[in-house]
Amino acid sequence: GENVEQHPSTLSVQEGDSAVIKCTYSDSASNYFPWYKQELGKGPQLIIDIRSNVGEKKDQRIAVTLNKTAKHFSLHITETQPEDSAVYFCAASRKLTGGGNKLTFGTGTQLKVEL
Amino acid sequence: DVKVTQSSRYLVKRTGEKVFLECVQDMDHENMFWYRQDPGLGLRLIYFSYDVKMKEKGDIPEGYSVSREKKERFSLILESASTNQTSMYLCASRPILLPLAGDADTQYFGPGTRLTVL
């Protein structure tokens, strides 16, 4: 099955700095890579995603890059703000042999943006 | 907006009790999922359901069962709760995927139920 590794587990940055979270996946059949943000007391919420036929995607201050050859993808947050403080999860989705898709999550990164 | 609600935010139960966690979604999604979230382990899939009356085991189904009698409702059942089932439980839903239409595997999560088993 798929295995998704995520690093670092905790990340502390100063407000205004950039933050980068990295993930690697094992199954080359994975073709969709979403990133979720989980704020305290809430469920994870999708913030950005990328498909396997795209190398980079940007949405305002966040961007995601994908290197299919190396099987890794990264989340980049620029000009970080206190409200960016949360737990971030990467995930990889692949089709199952019997039909349907399965999403496998990384272990999460606790991002803290300090004033 | 998709709304996924879970019956309780916090729950405390005793070892051996039968526990029901309820999840309801209001977007007519076919697929529903139960995960547990533990520090350092991320989200792990317990069970999922592609449609009413259907259920599939995820990665860690032991000690759990599920029920999907109505499309909007997916219940997680702990037949005999144990202390190692103390965790955050997250429910998610997703519309049926049509790969040829380019659908993405985007799941919508509820706020979670923090279960403590004493």
* Arithmetic mean of pLDDT, B3-7: 93
Identity of the amino acid at B21: L
Task: Report the C-alpha gap between A94 and A32 in whole angstroms.
Answer: 7
**pLDDT of the residue at B99:** 66
Calculate mean pLDDT across residues B26-48.
Answer: 94
Q: Which residue of A has its CA nearest to B57?
A: A102
Contact across the interface for A43 and B111, Cβ inside 8 Å:
yes
Give the residue, A51 or B103, on which the prediction is more confident: A51
Nearest-by-CA chain A residue for B102: A51
- The DSSP code for B107 is -
Q: Which residue(s) pair with B19 in the sheet?
A: B78
What pLDDT is recorded for position B36?
97
A35 min Cα distance to partner chain B (Å): 10
Give me the tens of pLDDT residue by residue for chain A, a chain 115 residues long: 889 999 999 999 999 999 999 999 999 989 999 999 999 989 999 999 998 888 999 999 999 999 999 999 999 999 999 999 999 999 999 887 766 788 999 999 999 999 9
| pLDDT of B100 strictly over 80 | no
B2: confidence class by pLDDT, cuts 50, 70, 90: low
Of A43-47, B22-26, B37-41, B104-108, minimum mean pLDDT range = B104-108
Nearest to B42 among A34, A45, A108 (CB): A108
Of A46, A51, A105, the CB nearest to B42: A105
Average pLDDT across chain B, whole number:
92
pLDDT score at A54: 84
Give how far A108 is from chain B: nearest CA, Å.
6
Count of other CB atoms within 10 angstroms of residue A58: 12
Percent of chain B residues topping a pLDDT of 90: 81
Question: Can you give the pLDDT at residue B96?
Answer: 82
Give the residue among A90, A85, A83, A14 at the shortest CA–CA distance from A46: A90
Q: What is chain B's Cα-based Rg? A: 14
Nearest-CA neighbor of A94 among A25, A50, A33, A29? A29
CB contact under 8 A, B106 and A100: no
Pairwise CA distance, residues B33 & B4, whole Å: 11
Q: Do B42 and A51 touch (CB under 8 A)?
A: no
SS3 state of residue A83: helix
State whether residue A2 sits within 8 Å of chain B by CB.
no
